[in-house]
Chain A
């Protein structure tokens, strides 16, 4: 017997030729008893014990306190890569628009919600850094699926996905965002999650 490994429970040596194997659960096996315990007293005790366990579980939730975020007042912080409402960008030094009206974003858009009409820059009216600029740039946010392909398609990082997700409105036409609305510094209404949070 001494040469047996300690992990294996020694089976009881039976005198009979037919070996009776008893189920010996190992340490990592959790025993789950599904049927009522035999006997009136034991089953009654089990019912009582399990009820008490349930009561303890619910009372522990009271001690723990609520986990609710009170939404309009408290907001769940979004991750930095969260894809919310789009933003159009300008060069910080010159103030010129980054968008050159190439329509690559509109081509990449699977929901077909971006409309770009390009126009030539002139020396008197210089809007963007490139040859052309977007005379009309509209995103229909009621169609947008927030996939972020426009952001990927843009060769000048002119359009990025912001963090704003509170976009409900009373009228569908109000959800068509124009270039001015997308360029304007948005009201940062959404808290950003910190590193590692």
Chain B
């Protein structure tokens, strides 16, 4: 018990199980919402309606899409490596869901006399956990692309590998500034440390770098070279169809939500409200979801605006602009932290 208490496992096992189910269910419900929101908003950004035929205002469109994908035939190319071909989408979806577990949706609440934290796990190594699963997520793309036995998939996977490795460095460094200021790696601890001021203000460059690297980490426009429909016919998921493609799709949008959640937690004060408003505990998840949807809107907005980068531009931007900026941010923060303490 004492060891588990050190890493934040102070809740009884049955609360852990209920929380796991609830968070997984919430995550599952959020993905179709993001899907329809993205398609509708992309439509509006381009002066059209977006899907509006299935259900009221096209709200049932993701349901129809998922139903279509799940009822499709499972097939694979003859050149593919069967075992890995089936495993790769699983790796992608598993890591996305696992990363979702650490996003805090609220403080520890007193529900019927039981202390319940509104998060999956409050790991004491928050960002490290995130990057660990981010690194594993890259295997989902890499294995999927390689095991397809198709040159387009392979090219997409190679691009994805290079891109994820390049931008993970800047993303990690962007968080170091926050971690030094907060003095803790626990995500709930970071939120508590933002009581005075959200870190988006003192760590503005860290916020920018983290967000831009987040676009790249989730393979979203303008860094969607992994998919690059025009040149790679869909990249690493070219050969995937049906439920396996749905898994990749699901993982991609869950990753967007994870990045939005982490940005909310680390830079936008998590469940804290501005102007010193202290609402009751049940409002916390709503505040977090509202902030997450703001970041998700930014993702969609950027996708509707910016064209895809060339590969050399992507690399030079990642290594020559983002990484020095993140390093400089870390250094300046370190100096300031030492000087003020």
Q: Which residues of A contact B (CB under 8 A)?
A: 44, 51, 54-55, 57-59, 61-62, 64-68, 70
Q: Is B310 an interface residue (CB 8 A)?
A: no
**A40, closest chain B residue (CB):** B321
- A44 partner residues in chain B, CB cutoff 8 A: 321
Give the number of residue pairs across the A-B interface with Cβ within 8 Å: 36
- B301 partner residues in chain A, CB cutoff 8 A: 55, 58-59
The answer to whether A54 touches B305 (Cβ under 8 A) is yes
Contact mask B284-295 → A, CB, 8 Å, 1/0? 000000000000
The answer to whether A51 touches B45 (Cβ under 8 A) is no
The answer to whether A62 touches B302 (Cβ under 8 A) is no
Q: How far is the CB of B329 from chain A (nearest CB, A)?
A: 14
The answer to whether B49 touches A54 (Cβ under 8 A) is no
The answer to whether A62 touches B306 (Cβ under 8 A) is no
- A57 partner residues in chain B, CB cutoff 8 A: 305
The answer to whether A61 touches B305 (Cβ under 8 A) is no
Number of B residues whose C-beta is below 8 Å from A?
14
Given A54-B305, A55-B305, A59-B301, also A68-B45 (CB < 8 A): no
Report Cα–Cα, A57/B307, bound state, in Å. Answer: 14
Name the interface residues of B247-303: CB closer than 8 Å to any CB of A: 301-302
The answer to whether A62 touches B44 (Cβ under 8 A) is yes
Partner of A58, one of B48, B49, B305, B321: B305
Report Cα–Cα, A59/B305, bound state, in Å. Answer: 9
The answer to whether A61 touches B306 (Cβ under 8 A) is no
Q: How far is the CB of B184 from chain A (nearest CB, A)?
A: 32
Q: How far is the CB of B103 from chain A (nearest CB, A)?
A: 26
The answer to whether A55 touches B302 (Cβ under 8 A) is yes
Given A51-B306, A55-B302, A55-B305, also A61-B44 (CB < 8 A): yes
- B304 partner residues in chain A, CB cutoff 8 A: 58
Report Cα–Cα, A58/B307, bound state, in Å. Answer: 12
The 5 A-B residue pairs whose C-beta atoms are closest, nearest first, are A58-B305, A62-B44, A54-B305, A68-B48, A58-B45
- 19 additional A-B pairs beyond A59-B45, A68-B49, A70-B49, beta carbons within 8 Å, are A44-B321, A51-B305, A54-B305, A55-B302, A58-B304, A58-B305, A59-B301, A61-B44, A61-B46, A62-B41, A62-B44, A62-B45, A65-B47, A66-B43, A66-B44, A66-B47, A66-B49, A67-B48, A68-B47
Q: How far is the CB of A58 from chain B (nearest CB, A)?
A: 5
**A55, closest chain B residue (CB):** B305
A-B contact pairs, 12 of them (CB 8 A): A54-B306, A58-B45, A58-B304, A59-B45, A61-B45, A62-B41, A65-B47, A66-B43, A66-B49, A68-B47, A68-B48, A70-B49
**B208, closest chain A residue (CB):** A48
Partner of A67, one of B47, B302, B305, B306: B47
Report Cα–Cα, A66/B40, bound state, in Å. Answer: 11
Contact mask B168-184 → A, CB, 8 Å, 1/0? 00000000000000000
- B47 partner residues in chain A, CB cutoff 8 A: 61, 64-68
**B41, closest chain A residue (CB):** A62
**B307, closest chain A residue (CB):** A54
